[in-house]
Amino acid sequence: MSTKVLFGFHAVTVRLKTAPQSIVELHVDSSRRDARMRQFVERAQAAGARLLESDDERLSRLAGTSRHQGVVARVVPLAQPHSLDGVLEALQAAGRGPALLLVLDGVTDPHNLGACLRVADGAGAHAVLAPKDHAVGLNATVAKVASGAAETVPYLMVTNLARSLDDMKDHGLTVVGTSDDAEHTLFEADLRGPLALVLGAEGRGMRQLTRKRCDLLVRIPMAGAVESLNVSVAAGVCLFEARRQRLGVAA
């Protein structure tokens, strides 16, 4: 049976909430007796998880890091769509409204990816896509930073990002890229229809081939001395602006 590791309170709590039957075993720090750990253990027991008390050395070995918060789970991966077609077909079948995708071009830091997945989940994005050759894959660090969103938002790594953007347009999505030198601001764009928002890595931005595939380029208007935002912060601004427009909320 193929399994993977989740660690940290947030990531494991989301799995307990959404799919407790997928938890093979749950290791908790035998030395922790604080309120947060007691509440977590009660939740795990109520969900029927197999609980094992472990010391810090074993927890660190299982998680691959000492930043496990005393909680490490071995779990069966959840089934998620593995292709753009699969995401869009599932979306259509569920009647969940116009597609909202986040595309990351060149984001290689696991903390940034985890934060982007967390933002994508919060804003109701249906998937996050990235090129295989210019991105970080899903690992335990990503899952911890994502605080459970790595379990709820499909993350698709595609062989050819430019071709995938063309496929999105063939499916009726508008591809909107972000660039500091764009003529129009994010808040001038109509983001209510089927949409793919494309962000590049901080500093470098999108690659030229990716930029050429965009139907529209927009910028986040900056009012202070800082010229750009961290990619996860920028993703949050863009996705929640799309969310605001779709809800018909006044600015």
User: For 112-153, what is each residue's pLDDT tens digit?
Assistant: 999 999 999 999 999 999 999 878 888 888 888 887 788 788
Determine the pLDDT at residue 144.
82
**Where in the chain is CATH 3.40.1280.10?**
84-247
Determine the pLDDT at residue 251.
56
Mean pLDDT value across the chain:
90
Phi, psi at residue 132, to the nearest 5°? -65, -35
Determine the pLDDT at residue 48.
94
The vertex-27 CA angle with 21 and 31, nearest 5°, equals 145
Weakest-pLDDT range from 27-31, 95-99, 196-200, 240-244: 95-99
**Where in the chain is CATH 3.30.1330.30?**
4-75
Distance (Å) of CA 101 to CA 23, 34, 156, 202, 251? 29, 40, 11, 19, 22
- Cα(116)–Cα(247) distance, integer angstroms: 21
Determine the pLDDT at residue 4.
86
Q: Strand pairing of 4-7 and 71-75?
A: antiparallel
- Cα(28)–Cα(186) distance, integer angstroms: 45
Name which residue leads in pLDDT, 211 or 152: 211
Nearest to 173 by CA among 218, 119, 126: 126
- Cα(144)–Cα(146) distance, integer angstroms: 5
The vertex-74 CA angle with 102 and 124, nearest 5°, equals 20
Phi, psi at residue 19, to the nearest 5°? -155, 65
Determine the pLDDT at residue 35.
95
Tens-place pLDDT, residues 72-112: 999 998 777 778 888 888 887 777 779 999 999 989 999 99
- Cα(162)–Cα(217) distance, integer angstroms: 16
pLDDT exceeds 90 at position 248: no
- Cα(192)–Cα(63) distance, integer angstroms: 41
Mean pLDDT confidence for 21-46: 94
Determine the pLDDT at residue 3.
87
Name which residue leads in pLDDT, 41 or 90: 41
Please identify, in words, the CATH class of the domain defined by 84-247: alpha beta
pLDDT exceeds 90 at position 69: yes
What single-letter DSSP state applies at residue 109? -
| Most confident by average pLDDT, 1-5, 6-10, 42-46, 246-250 | 42-46
CATH of span 4-75? 3.30.1330.30
Determine the pLDDT at residue 249.
65
| pLDDT confidence tier of residue 238, bands split at 50, 70 and 90 | very high
Determine the pLDDT at residue 1.
65
Distance (Å) of CA 152 to CA 24, 42, 94, 120, 169? 19, 23, 15, 10, 25
pLDDT exceeds 60 at position 193: yes
Nearest to 7 by CA among 55, 66, 78, 50: 66
pLDDT exceeds 90 at position 218: yes
Determine the pLDDT at residue 228.
79
Nearest to 242 by CA among 196, 180, 211: 196
